[in-house]
């Protein structure tokens, strides 16, 4: 159970960063999309990590 706490914390932090980025952004340029894509990829990686730990 403790092994899956850190990925969940990272998922929550990434979601908060995405929301803050959307609210605080004035222009939807390339930097905006790269920040959001990197957070989304981090979320996907943590979900895959949780799934692989549950299979073991």
- Given a cut of 90, is residue 5 above it in pLDDT? no
Model confidence at 2, pLDDT cuts 50, 70, 90, reads low
* 16-48 pLDDT tens trace: 999 999 999 888 899 889 999 999 999 999 999
Note the pLDDT of residue 3.
65
Residue 25 CB coordination number (10 Å): 13
The mean pLDDT of 9-22, rounded to a whole number, is: 92
């Amino acid at each position: 159970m403790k092994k899956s706490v850190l990925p969940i914390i990272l998922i929550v932090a990434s979601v908060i960063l995405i929301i803050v980025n959307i609210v605080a952004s004035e222009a939807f340029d390339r930097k905006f999309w790269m920040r959001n894509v990197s957070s989304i990829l981090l979320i996907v990686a943590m979900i895959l990590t949780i799934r692989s730990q549950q299979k073991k």
